[in-house]
Copies of this chain bind each other. A is one copy, B any other.
Amino acid sequence: VRGTQTHSGKTRGDGELALLSEIRARAVRGSRHGGLRLGIGDDCALLAPRRGEELAVTTDLSIDGRHFRLDWHQPEAIGHRALARGLSDLAAMGARPVAAFLSLGLPRELTTASGGRGGQRTGSRAWVQRFLDGLLALAEAHQTPLAGGDLAESSLAVADIVLVGVVPRGRALLRSGAQPGELLYVTGALGGAAAGLARLAELAGLDRSNPPRIPKKLEALLAPHLYPQPRIAQGLWLQRRGLASAALDLSDGLSTDLAHLCAESGVAAEVDASALPIHPTATLAQALDGGEDYELLFTAPATARLPRSIAGVAVTKIGRIVKARRGQPAITLITEQAAQPLKARGWEHFS
């Protein structure tokens, strides 16, 4: 987040300059970690990977009305979720995060303490400060300094997150390595984020607050949606042991993301419905098609011995990789009654 990149006309307002200073000060606090040599304040950040390391880079765009809603989500959750998307991509490669970058376009009222939109309760702090609270708390949990970015006034709230990670050369977990005969695994539980979002939509319809208050007893229910946990430790574990032949993160839902893995690997897959680790709050449909669980989906040879959990998160065998056959569905869902094609059907958010 440099001071030089607004083309807002004239010089920046006092509020914007103060925001830049605050971001810089808060970002520096967390930047003693390996790899980042120069953070916010110059034309670029500088990263110094160690010998034999390669860099994994990913960008994820979050837009009001598409990936979040200002009238549904607390600012802390929006910040957390924006960063979680990028961290989850690193996890899927088995990479260790080194630095994050944030390009932020915000309506002016979200950068001032008195602001907030449509009666949003932002308290005495600006919306953007609470957004940063959420983002930086997750960054700190994963020892990921905020190393730069950009800031501009925008009529629509947008946040583009860039994550840079390191992985030993040639060891990254790719989507393209799955082979017929291998087994299919998933971390954690599926469908919890979709179930949480459905509940949040209900709350938003009932509560006149904007965003709605989350009753204490619902916090745990909404957590998979509001505060998804990127599986960095699990991705690193798989990468270091060389057990996974292919991996990706479940951002769009099992039915869609497994189709990507199959396409990149040139294989097909069978999923056992009875084996799916469905989140206790979720339906089978949410587990199959619900997006944003940010669990890892990976394949491993049948001979590989995988633990029941990695760093406290369950690992479940949910199916197998088979040969792709022309005219046959890429994914088959096997239930006790029948085997049926599983169509990619990413979960519907804010249509």
Chain A contacts to B: CB under 8 angstroms? 3-11, 37-38, 41-49, 51, 54-61, 63, 65-67, 85, 89-90, 92-93, 95, 99, 101-105, 147-156, 158, 160, 162-165, 167, 169, 172, 174-176, 248-249, 251-252, 256-257, 260, 264, 291-292, 344-346, 348-351
Contact = CB atoms under 8 A, between A and B. Distances in A.
B150 A43 contact: no
A140 B79 CA distance: 35
Contacts of A174: 38, 42
Nearest to A164: B57
Contacts of A164: 55, 57
Main secondary structure of the interface of A (DSSP, over half): mixed
Contact of A175 (B42, B95, B346): B42
Contacts of A351: 8-10
A66 B113 CA distance: 23
Contact of A152 (B44, B63, B162, B165): B63
Nearest to A156: B156
B9 A350 contact: yes
30 contacts: A4-B256, A6-B252, A7-B66, A7-B291, A7-B292, A7-B346, A8-B351, A9-B350, A10-B346, A41-B175, A42-B174, A42-B175, A42-B176, A42-B264, A43-B58, A44-B95, A44-B163, A45-B56, A45-B58, A46-B57, A55-B55, A57-B148, A57-B162, A57-B164, A59-B101, A61-B104, A63-B154, A66-B154, A156-B158, A160-B160
A169 B46 CA distance: 9
A65 B155 contact: yes
A160 B150 contact: yes
Given A4-B256, A11-B346, A101-B57, A42 B150 contact: no
A260 B3 contact: yes
Nearest to A260: B4
A147 B264 CA distance: 16
Given A8-B351, A9-B350, 12 more contacts: A4-B252, A4-B256, A6-B252, A38-B172, A44-B56, A44-B89, A58-B148, A61-B152, A63-B105, A65-B155, A66-B105, A162-B162
Nearest to A92: B43
Nearest to A99: B57
A208 B46 CA distance: 46
A250 to B, nearest CB: 9
A290 B4 CA distance: 13
B4 A43 contact: no
Contact of A249 (B10, B43, B67): B43
A154 to B, nearest CB: 5
Contacts of A58: 43-45, 148
A162 B101 contact: yes
A55 B7 CA distance: 26
Contacts of A41: 175-176, 264
B61 A44 contact: no
A158 B348 contact: no
Contact of A5 (B95, B251, B344, B348): B251
Contact of A105 (B5, B6, B93, B158): B158
